Structure 1
Amino acid sequence: MRGWSLARQMLALQIVVVGVTVAGGAVLAFLQAGELLRDEAAGTARAVTVSVADSPSVLAAMGDSAALQPYAERVRRETGVDFVTIMSVDGVRYTHPNPAQIGRRFLGNTAPALAGRVFTETYTGTLGPSVRAVAPVRDARGRVAGLVSAGITIDKISARLRGQVAGAALIGALGLSVGGAGTYLVGSRLRRQTHGMGPAELSRMYEYHDAILHAVREGLLLVDTSGTVTLCNDGARELLGLEGEVSGRHVTGLGLPPSLAERLATGENLTDEIHMTGERTLVVNAAVVRSGSRSLGTVVTLRDHTELQSLAGQLDAERGFADSLRAAAHEAANRLHTVITLVELGRTEQAVAFATEEIKAAQQLTDRVVGAVREPVIAALLLGKSAEAGERGVELVITPDSGLDDIGLDARDLVTILGNLIDNAVDAAMAGTPPARVEVRLRADETAFLISVADSGQGLDPATADEAFQRGWTTKGDGRGLGLAMVGQAVRRLGGTIEVGSAAGAAVTGAGGHGGHSGNGAAGPGAVFTVRLPLRGKDVR
């Protein structure tokens, strides 16, 4: 049996169990039926014996065989016993089914009956082994005047037992057939479900399955058609920040971002969708598993896109720097051509004045940014964003009280936060009433680093303040917004908070993330985003 499949082993085992059960039941039924038939025969013999012994006609005809024999035979035929024997106190028979035995002594025990008691026994007489009863016949004074015995032969009892055993055997065979058929159906189903594999193969598959689930870094979830998680590997626990038992819980009860939980609960195919969690950016894929036309659930894979998204943000910043340099070079070429033309026209004094003014303005911006912000990455970002905003017709102003040294925070997160806030502010300012203006303030004290970005746009609707930091939110209505979601994620990663406000209302600090408007709740002209990031023992100005 070692090489048999699990289904075949189960089939053989179940057939053995059913066979043993049916056989044991049949033997038990046979023994019980034999006991019941013996008890029934003893009860019948006792009842007939007592009835005959109590009959007045028997007492009156005691000793007269010619009168007693017809009576005894009639009682025997009517009651179904094999013999009714009436005898004297000495055991001499007055009646017997075989008339030749009349006048001979009774074969059996009579002492208890002579003592006045009715008793039963199994004894071998002239008709063979029988279950019999013996009772005394009493006269008017209560003395024993004779004896009566009636009995049923063992052969007759055995014949009845064989008839019952045949019926029990038929029922047992029917039960065995039904049990065998049921066992075969269960085995067939088990064979389909195990694909004909044996216990060793199933055990090995489980070990491989378990090892793979724990080894892969990508997250893996199995979600059934009702949205309940049936499997979650270590990678998914880590990427989604899940704790405790996950299997058996609905995806909406795992504490996931609403957009991600809603997408997983739909049971639809997903391809490379970007979703933001507390501190991670995930690429989510989902495939519906089907058996024929029936859906079995959804296989969900999760890949950590956080580092790649951060690098993409840096690439966007570098691309912005390059665009800014290209715009600056283009503008410088225009001004250079202007200076050259003025010189060629002989207006050297005007050429010198024009060039001096342009150099002075550019140098002032550079000196102000570099002097205030000594973090080179942030300084380069601000210079690039200033040039880009100027090219788009927006004035980017760095407040005079801004100042920043090395504060020990991750420059990549700072670029993500500041770059996205400035980009959104420039877009909002361009959509507002001219002149378009964006104001940036950077300050650090002993405990926190403050980033404030304000614009001259239409402001942010208080009803959408909380939604602004969710993936896909955008004022453009295309559902592709990621900037503010990445800002919120970076702020949470650094343990900071975001305040959203306007000229018409004070801001509310969002615990561990973002907040909405307070005050009178009216959307004022322009929005103000304020980020507070805690410092960790660094030297700040």
Structure 2
Amino acid sequence: MGRMRAAWPRSLAGQAIALQVLVIALIVAAGSTLALIDARRDGDAAAREQVVGIATSLADAPSTAAAIESGRATEVLQPVTETVRTHTDIAFITIMAPDRTRFTHTDPSQIGGAYLGTIEPALRGETFTETYTGTLGPSIRAVAPVRDSSGRIVGLVAAGILQKSLAERWRSQWPVIAAVGVGALAVSLVGVWGIRRRLLRQTRGLRPDELRVMYDHHDAILHSVSEGLIVLDRDGVALVNDEARRLLSLPAGDVDRSDLPEFLRSFAPGARDEVHVTDDRVLVVNRSPVPSAGRSSEVVTIRDRTELQGALGELNSLKVLTDSLRSQAHEAANKLHTIVTMVEMGRADEAVRFATAELELSQQLVDRLSTAVGEPALVALLLGKTAQADERGIELTVTEETHLPAGDGHALSGSEMVTVLGNLIDNAMDACDKTDPWVEVTVNQSDTRLLIRVADSGEGMDPKTFENAMRRGYSTKSGSDAEQHGLGLALVAQVVKRHGGQLTADVSYGSVVTVTVASA
């Protein structure tokens, strides 16, 4: 048993080919045997047809009945039967009387003797065949009745072929059948060899147990990996794991290319760290080609950056506020030096007026926003953006229509409002007219809806550009800034769509972007 295991192929390709060779050899052997059996059966059938034809022809000839009735049957018919027998290569032709007395025979010494075999059906007027052992050995024979002009049976004709001769006939076909079988086996082995090479190339010579372990590990990794994983080829989706189904909201079972988001429907390997926005997520996508000698394919990995993007938005708002406070602290230091110098110069009254005027303007803005807006994060955002706009020479105005009551009954959460308003203000400050830069902000919560409107002095976007910006992110900037700010409007559209709101753009007194969300 150990030697047999050592001789048995180890690779999957080798085992498959060994089994195929064994099966093919059995099929060829069985086919050859069946061909020989069929040849023997066909030979017997042909022999029966031949002896029936000869016996019937001689029995139906008028000269046969005439010779029997004349009493000269042996003299007349023996030469005829021998001539026919010689030309047809059969064993014997015997013409006999109804009482079995032979008139003719291959062996002249048997003439006058009794015919050995069945004759009763022929005496009843039937032509029949049988296998019988006579004086020459086992034979297939046919017996036909001889009738005179009145229809009376006056004799019988028996014609036969020895089974030995038939065996020699079908045995002569063995070399042909063997040659065909060997040829079929050779062609099959050539095909099997080609299949073996292909299997070795595709399975890399691995054993079945190695392939099974590889599949088990592959399947375990696919289900446990924390990143979405999709394998695409020219025909569609070859593989998708559980995390990819969750991130892309894909159906269970087979996945078609049409089920994927639009940004994954094309075949474009090589993309690195692309950021895409779906209806409810921010995704980072990498696409790598798979080196293969066969058809082209690519591996797509997907990371969820939704929560990180929200945190980055809030962090950016705090950074803006921090930068504004730092700038204001620097400005306050300058103003403080001015005030101290004015006091030293003896102009105390002017110093007081200078100091209180600046304080009143700043405090008025803080008081108005704190009164009108009941969301602290949004107040901080507006103060920071106002200071940022002032540094950039942009006039940022919060309209008198702004009103956001305190409490939890808002259509959007505080972080969502920061995401929406912060991105809209950033886009507006980037897009406003440089010769007359201004931005106008309105946030209004009523009983039925939340309205966020940001207008700027820019030219605005045409409907097609606005649609592209909402779907994937769009920016007129270049470089890394474009990659960062290009997500702004798409993130806004994501929040609005999640709450069933509307995001519109028009150009009226400026470029106006409006968000409307129904109250809960």
Q: Which of the two has greater helix per residue?
A: 2
SS at match of 1:290: coil
2:423 is aligned to 420
- What does residue 83 of structure 1 align with? 92
| Greater displacement, 408-417 / 371-380 | 408-417
Matched, 1:53 2:59: yes
Question: Could you tell me whether the CA contact under 8 Å between 1:289 and 1:295 is conserved in 2?
Answer: no
2:488 is the counterpart of 1:487: no
- Contact 1:225/1:298 (8 A) holds in 2: no
Instruction: Describe the superposition over 1:25-77 as per-residue Cα deviations: whole angstroms up to 9, x where unpaired.
Output: 33333333222222221221122122222333333433433333222211111
Contact 1:460 1:526 in 2 (8 A): no
Partner Cα distance (1:23, 1:201) in 2: 35
Aligned partner (choices 194, 199, 217) of residue 190 of structure 1: 199
What is aligned with 2:360? 360
**CA displacement 1:417-443 (0-9 Å, x = unmatched):** 111212222233343x43x33222222
Equivalent position of 1:473 in the other structure: 474
1:109-130 deviation digits (Å, cap 9, x = unpaired): 2333334333222111121111
Secondary structure of 2:90's aligned partner: coil
**What corresponds to 2:243 in structure 1?**
235
Q: Which residue of 2 aligns with 1:440?
A: 441
Q: Which residue of 2 aligns with 1:410?
A: 413
Q: Does 1:288 align with 2:289?
A: yes
Hey, what does 1:153 align to over in structure 2? 162
**8 Å contact kept, 2:233–2:267:** no
Partners of 2:359 and 2:308 in 1: CA distance: 39
Structure 2 contact 269–298 (Cα < 8 Å) conserved: yes
User: Superposition pairs for residues 455-474 of structure 1, below 5 Å?
Assistant: 455-474=456-475
- Map of 2:222 onto structure 1: 213
Structure 1 residues 348 and 531: alpha-carbon distance in aligned structure 2, compared to 1, 3 A threshold = same
Q: Residue 7 of structure 1 aligns with which residue?
A: 13
Kept in 2: contact 1:23–1:172 (CA 8 A): yes
Aligned to 1:323: 323
> Residues of 2 paired with 1:362 and 1:135: CA distance?
136
Deviates more, 1:46-55 or 1:470-479: 470-479
2:517 matched to 1:533?
yes
| Cα distance in 2 between the residues matched to 1:88 and 1:469 | 113
Whether 1:162 aligns to 2:165 is: no
CA distance in 1, matches of 2:315, 2:206: 53
In 2, the alpha carbon distance for the partners of 1:469 and 1:445 equals: 26
Is the contact between residue 394 and residue 430 of structure 1 (CA under 8 Å) also seen in structure 2? Answer: no
Classify the secondary structure of the residue corresponding to 1:407: coil
Question: Structure 2: how far apart are the matches of 1:323 and 1:386?
Answer: 12
Q: Secondary structure in 2 aligned to 1:283?
A: strand
1:410–1:246: structure 2 CA closer, same or farther, 3 Å change rule?
farther
- Superposed CA deviations along residues 331-388 of structure 1, whole A, max 9, x for unmatched, are 2122222222222322222222211211111221122122222322211111111111
TM-score when normalising by structure 1: 0.86
- Residues 113 and 332 from structure 1, CA distance in 2 versus in 1: closer, same or farther, beyond 3 angstroms? same
- In structure 1, how many angstroms separate the alpha carbons of the residues matched to 2:458 and 2:339? 37
Which aligned pairs between 1:306-317 and structure 2 lie closer than 5 A? 306-317=306-317
Q: Indicate the RMSD between aligned Cα atoms, in angstroms.
A: 2.5
Change (3 A) 1:127 1:283: same
Give, in angstroms, the shift of residue 138 of structure 1: 2.7
Partner AA of 1:417 in structure 2: V
CA–CA distance in structure 2, aligned partners of residues 143 and 201 of structure 1: 87
- Describe the SS at the equivalent of 1:68: helix
Query: Residue 499 of structure 1 is aligned with which of 498, 504, 507?
Result: 504
Paired AA for residue 530 in structure 1 = T
Q: Where does residue 379 of structure 1 map in the other structure?
A: 379
2:105 maps to which residue?
96
User: Which residue number corresponds to residue 514 of structure 1?
Assistant: none
The equivalent residue for 2:48 is: 42
Instruction: Give the distance between the partners of 2:150 and 2:248, measured in 1 at CA.
Output: 104
Question: Which segments of 5 or more consecutive residues in structure 1 lack a partner in the other structure?
Answer: 504-524, 537-541
Question: Which of 55, 80, 91 is the equivalent residue of 1:71?
Answer: 80
Which letter maps to 1:277?
A: T
- Cα distance, 1:302 vs structure 2: 0.2
Question: Structure 1 418/152 Cα, relative in aligned 2: closer, same or farther at 3 Å?
Answer: same
Q: Residue 139 of structure 1: CA displacement?
A: 2.9
Q: Which amino acid aligns with 2:237?
A: V
Give unmatched runs, 5+ long, in structure 2.
none
CA separation in 2, counterparts of 1:495 and 1:103?
Answer: 118
In the aligned structure 2, how far is the partner of 1:426 from the partner of 1:71?
125
Provide the C-alpha distance between the structure 1 equivalents of 2:254 and 2:124, rounded to a whole number of angstroms: 84
**Secondary structure at the residue paired with 1:152?**
strand
The worse-fitting range, judged by mean Cα deviation, of 463-472 and 340-349 is 463-472
Instruction: Tell me how far apart the structure 1 counterparts of residues 221 and 329 of structure 2 sit (CA, whole Å).
Output: 55
Distance verdict in 2 for CA 1:84–1:449, change over 3 Å: same
Query: Contact between 2:453 and 2:512, CA under 8 Å: does it hold in 1?
Result: yes
Partners of 1:393 and 1:234 lie apart in 2 by 50
Per-residue CA distance 1:72-105 (angstroms, 9 max, x = gap): 2111112222112223333332322222222322
Kept after mapping to 2: 8 A contact 1:407/1:535 = no
The answer as to whether partners of 2:66 and 2:148 remain within 8 angstroms in 1 is no
| SS of the residue 1:438 aligns to | strand
Conserved 8 A contact 2:96-2:104: yes
What TM-score comes out, normalization by structure 2 length? 0.89
Equivalent residue for 1:135? 144
User: What is residue 26 of structure 1 aligned with on the other side?
Assistant: 32
- The answer to whether the 8 Å contact 1:59/1:138 transfers is yes
